[in-house]
Amino acid sequence: MTPPEPRPRDRGIPEATVARLPVYLRALQALDDRGILTVSSEHLAETTGVNSAKLRKDLSHLGSYGTRGVGYEVEYLIYQISRELGLTQDWSVAIVGAGNLGRALANYGGFGTRGFRIAALLDADTAVLGDTVAGLSVGHIDALEDVVDRENVSIGVIATPAVAAQEVCDRFVEAGVTSVLNFAPVVLNVPPGVDVRKVDLSIELQILAFHEQRKADGYAGLDPFGKGPV
């Protein structure tokens, strides 16, 4: 998704590793909550569903934080991964689109607890202005530039209908936002230096459907009453 220009090496941490660090982080926090002090790569790999060698190589990109014969100290590793991901500082996020999805995002608990602060929830529809969602009052889209500027927003979330997405994106970029998380089913056009990540619910379903069809084809002879398409 992200790398049209592959960026000059990101201080050497591979993109694939970056994508897995949040997963490790979440598992480690669960271990920490249970009072577990150390964990081996084998165990952590199992609970996160990756190969243990891959996990060790991923972590080795951050430094040598393990102890041979013992494993990794949970709290220390949490801190190191958080620091690497930039979660030891707070990030302001603005969400545009106060429909079902925008509200779901604003209510999503994972944000506040992990270094993300929702600075504003904006919408173009005057009918929803002033609605209170997750302790936030829905603002008008016209305030976008003000909010970005005043609250130092660096990450913009687009949860609008497809037709509005590009315009919102342009306004985000123009206002100085350099990272965009896009839920609208369109490919956004952005200048170099701006990162876009896209989440598309219907694409995920279509990928599942593909594999489901394969299974149905392959097992048809063995399992004539298996769950198939309707």
157-216: contacts with a copy of itself (CB under 8 A): 176-181, 185, 187, 193, 195, 197, 199-215
CB neighbours of residue 116 within 10 Å: 17
Count residues binding a copy of itself (CB under 8 A): 78
Cα separation, 44 vs 78, in Å, equals 13
15-44: contacts with a copy of itself (CB under 8 A): 18-19, 21-23, 25-27
To the nearest 10°, report the CA torsion of 71, 74, 77, 79.
Answer: -160
Nearer to a copy of itself by C-beta: 89 or 126?
89
Nearer to DNA by C-beta: 64 or 202?
64
Q: Take residue 124 and report the two structure tokens written for it.
A: 């173009």
Q: Binding of DNA at residue 23 (CB under 7 A)?
A: no
Selection from a copy of itself, DNA, none that 151 binds (CB < 5 to 8 A by kind) is: a copy of itself
Q: Binding of a copy of itself at residue 128 (CB under 8 A)?
A: no
CB of 146 to DNA, least distance (A): 38
> What is the 8-class DSSP label of residue 158?
E
* Exposed/middle/buried for residue 75 (C-beta within 10 Å: 0-12, 13-18, 19+): middle
Coil, helix or strand at residue 215: helix
Q: Binding of DNA at residue 102 (CB under 7 A)?
A: no
Query: Residue 110: which of 17, 29, 20 has the closest Cα?
Result: 29
Q: Binding of DNA at residue 77 (CB under 7 A)?
A: no
Binding mask 42-81 for a copy of itself (x = CB under 8 A): -----xxx--------------------------------
CB of 45 to DNA, least distance (A): 9
Q: Binding of DNA at residue 185 (CB under 7 A)?
A: no
Q: Binding of a copy of itself at residue 125 (CB under 8 A)?
A: no
Number of H helices, E strands in the chain: 8, 11
Selection from a copy of itself, DNA, none that 115 binds (CB < 5 to 8 A by kind) is: a copy of itself
CB of 31 to DNA, least distance (A): 13
Angle in degrees, 0-180, between the axes of helices 15-33 and 52-60, rounded to the nearest 10: 100
Cα separation, 137 vs 156, in Å, equals 17
Span between the terminal Cα atoms of the chain, in Å = 33
CA distance to 15, 81, 121, per residue, from 20 (Å): 9, 11, 29
Nearer to DNA by C-beta: 13 or 175?
13
Binding site for DNA (CB under 7 A): 6, 14-17, 39-42, 50-54, 56-57, 59-60, 64-72
